Amino acid sequence: MECSGCGFEVEGGFAFCPKCGRRQPVPCAGCGYLCAPDFEFCPKCGASLGAPAKAAERPAPT
């Protein structure tokens, strides 16, 4: 993939361009659409892009 900031060839899976530091598009896990790095949801399928799964709370020891 080519960086939109500087044109450097960026490997798939890189979150930032190693040459200019610009954030790279984020592929949607649901449909594969390349979303802007600041999107919360995919504009094509509506899947959540950045909300990490919440860890289950452990019960307090008794």
Quick check: is 14 in a domain? Answer: yes
Quick check: is 53 in a domain? Answer: no
Quick check: is 9 in a domain? Answer: yes
Given the structure tokens 């610009």, which residue do they identify? 22
Q: What percent of the chain has pLDDT over 70?
A: 81
CA atoms within 13 A on the CB side of 35: 21
Quick check: is 62 in a domain? Answer: no
* Domains held by the chain: number: 1
* pLDDT for the residue numbered 54: 45
* pLDDT for the residue numbered 53: 44
Quick check: is 61 in a domain? Answer: no
Quick check: is 16 in a domain? Answer: yes
Model pTM score? 0.63
- For 8, phi and psi rounded to 5 degrees? -65, 145
- Note the pLDDT tens digit of each residue in 28-40: 999 999 999 899 9
Can you list the residues of the chain whose pLDDT is less than 70? 51-62
**Domain containing 25: what range?**
1-48
N-terminal to C-terminal alpha carbon distance within the chain:
53
